[in-house]
Amino acid sequence: MSVLVSKNSKVIVQGFTGTEGTFHASQMIEFGTKVVGGVTPGKGGTMHLDKPVFNTVEEAVKKAGADVSIIFVPPAFAADAIMEAAEAGIKVIVCITEGIPTKDMIQVKEYLKGRDCRLIGPNCPGVITAGEAKVGIMPGFVFKKGTIGIVSKSGTLTYEAADQIVKAGLGITTAIGIGGDPIIGTSTMEAVQLLMADKETEGIVMIGEIGGGMEAEAARWIKENGTKPVVGFIAGQTAPVGRTMGHAGAIVGGAEDTAAAKMKILRECGVTVVESPATIGVTMAKILKKVVA
């Protein structure tokens, strides 16, 4: 079983022929992802990376059976790209684009309500199911097949956590990089719920950061509904109040937005909190009583 993407996912790349789209589509294909084509308006009917280019997402769905899309479209046009994918019937939309105006994402969130699709991102590294499909920009070689799911706001820490988990002899089921913008498609709690429901996932790593209340929301859901161990890490323990750190959503706006406050809430809800990402793997191994390699 896999979460969100699998070896059977039929993936298209919006912004296929651009520099970013070309590079990362090549990496995804090399990983083994079933990329069935891409979308670049005005270039429909041509070939790129030995895959067909379509003018619209609707055309890609009808002709190639696409059900997953990854978006490498400039910020000014990314919201329209997301809504086009949803309108065409794409089930999983992964938006990598950074810097989409918040007002655009408000419109996107409203547009997606009631539609049968899930948005991951924007400003995220994507989703990877180890050994099956990579729909994102993460270094695929780090992710070895295993039993631990990852939910993370941070791209870099997603890779670090995966590396630590693999070194502990556990490996990854699916890693979901949800993104760090103020308005995103899938929350920490929603991603945790997906992994809790996955039969192959034995434990979950939850990586958060300062700003917002998603980690607390997820922790309280875990306390009431969790059936698997969760190891948590909160980035930004030394961040000053009132200053955006890295992600647009990573800003301490109140007492509960700090790393210390979030770590306290996680512990109170039964999440095993680590002080450093370097101990994520060994901590999970100990909880699962697995021998660390």
Determine the Cα–Cα distance for residues 172 and 147; give it in Å rounded to an integer. Answer: 5
24 is catalytic: no
Q: Are 168 and 290 in contact (CB under 8 A)?
A: yes
Active-site hit among 11, 247, 262, 284: 247
Nearest C-alpha neighbor of 59 from the set 88, 80, 86, 33:
88
For residue 138 the two structure tokens come to: 């993460």
The residues that are catalytic are 247
